Copies of this chain bind each other. A is one copy, B any other.
Amino acid sequence: MRLFSSDSAESYSVGPVNVARWEQYSLQDTLPFQAMWYSIPPGESSPTDCHPEVELSIVISGVASVEAGGATTLAPAGSAFLLEGDEAHVIHNRSDERLLIFTTYWMTPAAAITGAATAEVVS
């Protein structure tokens, strides 16, 4: 058994966001995804992010206001939110509590297939 604590992880700042990437745990041969902890103080927001990987985030504490696709959805502690590949998103912390999230992301063959199918429909 191995224990990983968000409190003691090596981290760095991306604007107001504190990011601790799981590469530091050297689990690349074990995990079928990449991962990170990140936290956002009350009243702050992440920069806009957009990447080809699908992203699944677990809210550990606080409430995330997830802005994506022209809507903002509240994701409180004990919930998870899934973002498609290439879905632009901003995470706001509009609560009074520190927002702490565990997030995973990966490239999915299904996403590539969906992209190809969509391209066919458009053409």
Digitize A48-78: 1 where CB-to-B-CB distance is under 8 Å, 0 elsewhere.
Answer: 0000001010111100001011010101111
- In A25-60, the 8 Å CB interface with B consists of 27, 29-33, 37, 54, 56, 58-60
| Copies of this chain, count | 2
Which residues of B lie under 8 Å from residue A95 when comparing CB positions? Answer: none
Interface residues on A, range: 35 or more
Instruction: Tell me whether B3 and A30 are in contact (CB under 8 A).
Output: no
**A2-B81, A4-B80, A32-B33 are known contacts; what are 12 more A-B pairs with Cβ within 8 Å?**
A1-B66, A1-B69, A1-B73, A1-B82, A1-B83, A5-B76, A5-B79, A6-B79, A30-B54, A58-B60, A60-B78, A104-B104
Of B3, B71, B77, the residue contacting A61 (CB under 8 A) is B77
Give the distance to chain B from A51, nearest Cβ to Cβ, in Å: 14
Q: A1-B68, A78-B100, A89-B1 are in contact. Are A56 and B83 (CB under 8 A)?
A: no
Q: Is A110 part of the binding interface, using a Cβ–Cβ cutoff of 8 Å?
A: yes
